[in-house]
Amino acid sequence: AIQYHGYQTDEELAKELGTAAALLSVSSSEAFGMNILQAMSYGVPVIAYNVKYGLNLLVEKDVSGYLAPLGESKAAADHLVRLLTDATPNAKWADMVNTTYQKSQTFDAKAAWQQWQDQLATVPNLFLR
């Protein structure tokens, strides 16, 4: 069942995401939603629309979820049904839970800081010339 709970505290959010089987995001404009990254940090696979600028960095087919063409709600629903009712759902879903969590960790604060430092190391410092 799909439920909307409104604002959640960190503790409530952890409880909900800890028991979620999937996250369905039907935003037509959210390019890099924190809700998606939060769900992924709990290993929750994501089904979302393929919007510009970002979701394709987070959601990989058969790795961390599925992207449906923008506005095609039937395709999104089909992805969700397939994920939850696959002939070998437990194995596929369990694999996706692990890979979804791993994917989310590439966006945590420590990883982002390291990526920033790596990029800075490759850019010439024009002030030192």
Residue 5 lies in a domain: no
> What pLDDT is stored for residue 84 in this prediction?
83
Residue 4 lies in a domain: no
Measured CA to CA, the distance from residue 32 to residue 22 in angstroms comes to 17
Residue 82 lies in a domain: yes
Residue 112 lies in a domain: yes
Residues in the chain: 129
> What pLDDT is stored for residue 49 in this prediction?
94
Let me know: does 23 contact 49? Beta carbons within 8 Å.
no
Two structure tokens written together for 102: 């791993």
- 31, pLDDT greater than 90: no
Least confident among 19-23, 77-81, 103-107? 103-107
Range of the domain at 122: 10-128
> What pLDDT is stored for residue 48 in this prediction?
94
The average confidence (pLDDT) of the chain is 85
> What pLDDT is stored for residue 77 in this prediction?
94
**Count of beta carbons in the 10 Å neighbourhood of residue 84:** 13
The residue that leads in pLDDT, 71 or 91, is 71
Confidence of residue 66 (pLDDT cuts 50, 70, 90): very high
Residue 1 lies in a domain: no
- Going from the C-alpha of 20 to that of each of 17, 72, 122, 128, the distances in angstroms are 5, 23, 41, 52
Residue 2 lies in a domain: no
At residue 51, the 3 state secondary structure works out as coil
Q: What pLDDT, in 10s, does the model give residues 83-99?
A: 888 756 566 777 888 88
The CATH number of the domain where 124 resides is what? Answer: 3.40.50.2000
Question: Count of domains in the chain?
Answer: 1
